[in-house]
Amino acid sequence: MIRAAYLSALLSTAILASSSIAGCDGPESSLTLLETGPLGAYATEVQPHVAERCASGGCHGRADRRLRLYAPGHYRADASRLHLDEPLTQQELGENARRLAAFAHGSELESSELFCKPLALEAGGCAHGVGEVFVDWTDPTCLALERWLSGRAPVDGGLP
Ligand code: HEM
């Protein structure tokens, strides 16, 4: 008696599970490929600004920051190269580029965290742990980021 009840419970669970798997296409994938600007332009036109204005050890040059950035003389992918004043590797440049692009992903640049954080509140910025970095949109680092990201395109499997 008990065995029969157990088997029928097992059977109805199996039927339920298989029908839900078969019928369900799963949630609509809202994942979109990250869009970045070209790496070449990043290395020559953006990274110098990032190294000077964002990536020092007390700011974004640290592993515990959501936006963590590599820079010569500061945070490095290879801990044994920490603080060595030498050029970044292609991999570190690619990671910096993707991380910066990720904070502008899926939104208009103007309203993205990448721009609103460092931008002064009076110029439309949002609160930033240490206050403003860009006085307004004419700031050279702001312009370099904007120019680079205005040419953004999906990263299709390969590195940007
Ligand atoms: C142009 C350069 C900079 C850009 C693009 C930038 C961007 C950002 C972004 C997107 C965030 C949110 C993600 C996170 O928590 O990591 C953030 C947060 C933060 N940034 Fe910056 N930042 C810049 C410069 C700086 C500098 C120079 C400092 C330090 C003096 C700094 C300190 C912080 C701190 C403490 C937070 C976390 C608290 C918060 O969310 O406001 N940032 N920044």
pLDDT tens, position by position, for the chain (160 residues)?
A: 666 776 677 666 666 666 565 555 555 556 677 888 899 999 999 999 999 999 998 899 999 999 999 999 899 999 888 878 899 999 999 999 999 999 998 778 888 999 999 999 999 999 898 889 999 999 999 999 999 998 777 765 444 4
Nearest-CA neighbor of 57 among 44, 72, 45? 72
Nearest-CA neighbor of 112 among 122, 120, 102? 102
Residues 28-48: b if buried by 16+ CB within 10 A, e if exposed? eeeeeebbbbebebbbebbbe
Q: Is the CB of 109 under 6 A from ligand 1?
A: no
Structure tokens at 123: 């110029």
Write the residue with the smallest CA distance to atom 32 of ligand 1: 59
Question: Given the CA of residue 145, which atom of ligand 1 is nearest to it?
Answer: 5
Does the pTM of the predicted model rise above 0.85? no
For the chain, the straight-line distance linking the first and the last C-alpha, in angstroms and rounded, comes to: 65
